[in-house]
Amino acid sequence: MTKSETTAIVPHHWTTLAAGIFDVDGVLLDSPHEQAWRDSLQGITDPDRFTSAFYQAYVAGKPRLSGARTALMQLGVADAAQRAVDYANRKQKRLEQLIKEGTVVPFPDALRFVEAVLALGWAIAAASSSKNANQMMQLIRLNEKQSLFDAFRANVCGRDLKEGKPNPEIFLLAAAELRVPPAQCFVVEDAPAGIEAARAGGMFALGVARLGDAEQLRTAGADLVVTNLDEINLDELAHGRLARWPT
């Protein structure tokens, strides 16, 4: 933990925060994306080479085809660009199977944090590159009245965009649909590509290091890194600042 992470952090340009943008996989949901990518390598290369660290570094947060191409290239698969389409399609079929098997579960701390942000009266958006994000969020109850999917004022998950993360297009689109200036938005991400996208869009980047990858998120430019969203000081958040609870 750095000294700056123990006290309230003033957002960029001395503005106060007013809205939140959430990635889904790895932030809100413990989803089977990583397993689907790994399982789909069977017959292409050794699936055991596709570790969690590899997934976070090269695939997480990227559109499906881009992730497939990058993964095969990094794994040294011959004709990676040509085989990426088939790999991406195989991954999608495997993911759909895993979802039907009930493997999607929420991170309890994330649900608590979403409800805390909503309690402030803030607008929130969901912004995932995954075209399966909405289906998965519809399976999760936030409370008795609504699903996790219903909680977001704006939802840009799975949109066909010109560029994927680390390009900030998806987050800028979310901010525009929330009608909140980018500088007043914080983005919650678990992948370096997502952190880079948030910073490129002029937004506050909150990294969630659920896999022991805090240093990678800081290197990508995260303004604050936590391992659990219960660490966020809600009193400071009510004043438009992100910080940890005092220890």
Q: Is the pLDDT of residue 10 over 70?
A: no
Choice among 28-37, 53-62, 66-75, 127-136 with the minimum mean pLDDT:
53-62
The token pair at 143 is 């409370």
- What are the tens digits of pLDDT across the range 33-66? 899 999 999 999 999 999 998 998 899 878 899 9
Across 122-145, average pLDDT: 93
- CA atoms within a 13 Å half-sphere pointing along the CA-CB vector of 64: 22
The rounded percent of the chain whose pLDDT value lies above 90 is: 83
pLDDT for 164: 87
pLDDT for 5: 47
Q: What is the C-alpha separation between 22 and 233, in angstroms, rounded? A: 18
Taken in order of first residue, the domains within the chain and their CATH numbers are: 3-30+104-237 (3.40.50.1000), 33-100 (1.10.150.240)
Q: What is the C-alpha separation between 235 and 171, in angstroms, rounded? A: 25
- What are the tens digits of pLDDT across the range 171-224? 999 999 999 999 999 999 999 999 999 999 999 999 999 989 999 999 999 999
Q: Is the pLDDT of residue 71 over 50?
A: yes
Asked whether the CA dihedral 201, 110, 53, 138 is positive or negative, the reply is: negative
- What are the tens digits of pLDDT across the range 154-167? 999 999 998 889 99
Q: What is the C-alpha separation between 51 and 10, in angstroms, rounded? A: 36
pLDDT for 82: 94
pLDDT for 61: 77
The token pair at 165 is 């993360």
Are the beta carbons of 184 and 123 closer than 8 angstroms?
Answer: no
Q: What is the C-alpha separation between 196 and 26, in angstroms, rounded? A: 16
Residue 32 phi/psi, 5° resolution? Answer: -90, 20
- CA atoms within a 13 Å half-sphere pointing along the CA-CB vector of 160: 0
Asked whether the bond before 166 is cis by omega within 30 degrees of 0, the reply is: yes
pLDDT for 144: 87
Task: State the DSSP H helix or E strand holding residue 155, giving kind and residue range, or none if neither.
Answer: strand 154-155
pLDDT for 172: 97
Q: What is the mean pLDDT of the chain?
A: 92
Task: Identify the burial level of 168 via C-beta atoms within 10 angstroms of its C-beta, where 0-12 means exposed, 13-18 middle and 19 or more buried.
Answer: buried
Written as one letter, the residue type at 15 is T
Are the beta carbons of 189 and 195 closer than 8 angstroms?
Answer: yes
Q: Is the pLDDT of residue 7 over 80?
A: no
